[in-house]
Amino acid sequence: MSEFDPVEVIGRTGLAQYGGYLNEEFLKDLQSGRSVRVFREMRDNDPTTGAVLFAILNTVSQVDWWVEASGTDPEDIQAKDFLESCIADLDTPWSMMVKDILFSVIPFGFNIREIVYKRRLGQDIEDLRHRSRFADGLIGWRKMPLRSCDSIQLNGGRWDFDLETQIMKGVYQIPAPDFKMRYIPKEKFLLFRATTEKDNPEGRSCLRSAYRPWYFLKKIEVFEAIGVERDLAGYPMLQLPPEWLMPSASPEIKSMVEEYKKMIINVRRDEQEGLILPMMRDANGNEMVKFQLLSAGGTRQFNTNDIIQRKKQEIATSFLADFILLGHEKTGSFALADSKTALFAVAIGAFLDEIRDVFNMDAIPKLFNFNKGNLRVRELPKLCHGDVETQDLVQLGDYLTKLTGAGASFFPDAKLENWFRKQAGIPEKQLEKTI
């Protein structure tokens, strides 16, 4: 057996990065920052993707967040209250920031928030950098503004990796409107990712698996629109004398033919429709230039509506959100929708777990490190979030009845009773404070 140092790092993740530029994507259309433009178009233009994002963002806005103390000592309670005050003192409401994080993580794969601190000197000071709802002189969070993905993936922005360990140390950002390069060290920002495969700082876009169906869907819809227009207006056909189309035709005739080509290509049924043709007849009285619209009879070989619907379902399925299409085809039961939404809620909960863990493992330790001379705690408080989906009251009641019948005793238990009240949306019972 060979000898080795157990604390030494030997292997590497295998992340394909060269000079801070990542090269993990095998599709050319999504390489070199082009994915930012593509995924933005998918997010902002595709109705199915937009519906899924709308469902996710409005679902997470209803999730409860709270701070949990590490113990019952006065120092632990003080630390909990301080963290709660820092969250409440942010320039952006907490629920809005959570939605903004997911609005970037889901389509682009990652989200960077720069941490801006302040010394809490009260509301009456002129320096806005330190204005706060609190005047205890402690260091708190002022704001955590977004550092957009396109300012990193486009215009020459890149990541800063340690040459030896390949650990990410920071990021070079080139943002609008001045497009000046700015370096942000890792200690100054929080990094949220959809996945940590190969420790890739850009994660992986949740739209990546939906790209292929979206690509074909986009093309088919364009072809369908062109076909509808042609069917409604008719297929334009222009008849010209055969000698005009001969290679031996004069330059004047060839120029005239080119103009006719432009006219027939630009035929549209709109408010500017119309076509002017010369009244030209041959020696036998036949029209030399004749224009007509041909209409196609019968039906098309392919039903584009079925193809488009299938592609939409593939996009929704990539998010575990195909339940949003239930009923559109007059199929699907309530039980099926209920099971699908439960799986969707689990997926959303995983996103919230990522946000929670980044704050608990990175943001909160940094915050308390700035205040270590004023706050003494053995273990830091933790940020927690509630369930994404509420409990089914019928099933919960049946479960409770069966447990009670088996001899389990639940009440009186004020905390448990409040939990059941919360599930039903009933006002909670005031608990007596214990010393």
pTM, rounded to two decimals: 0.77
User: CA-CA distance, 193 to 177, in Å (whole number)?
Assistant: 26
For the cut 50, the answer to whether the pLDDT of residue 185 exceeds it is yes
Neighbours of 292 (CB within 10 A): 10
For residue 110, give the nearest of 170, 211, 42, 195 by alpha carbon: 195
User: CA-CA distance, 279 to 291, in Å (whole number)?
Assistant: 12
Q: List, for residues 42-76, the tens digit of each pLDDT value.
A: 999 999 999 999 989 988 988 999 999 998 899 99
Q: List, for residues 117-144, the tens digit of each pLDDT value.
A: 999 999 999 999 999 999 999 999 999 9
Q: Which residues pair with 170 in a beta bridge?
A: 160, 185
User: CA-CA distance, 85 to 75, in Å (whole number)?
Assistant: 15
The mean pLDDT of 184-210, rounded to a whole number, is 94
* Torsions phi, psi for 109 (to 5 deg): 95, -20
For residue 172, give the nearest of 362, 370, 22, 355 by alpha carbon: 22
What is the H or E stretch that residue 42 is in?
helix 34-45
- Helices 414-424 and 393-405: angle between axes, nearest 10 degrees: 150
Mention every residue, 6+ apart, whose C-beta is less than 8 A from residue 230: none
Neighbours of 77 (CB within 10 A): 15
Q: List, for residues 398-421, the tens digit of each pLDDT value.
A: 766 776 777 666 666 777 666 666
Q: Are 355 and 60 in contact (CB under 8 A)?
A: no
Using DSSP's 3-state secondary structure scheme, residue 114 falls into: strand
- Helices 334-358 and 94-108: angle between axes, nearest 10 degrees: 100
Per DSSP (E only), the strands in 69-219 are: 110-114, 116-119, 139-143, 146-147, 158-161, 168-173, 182-185, 189-193
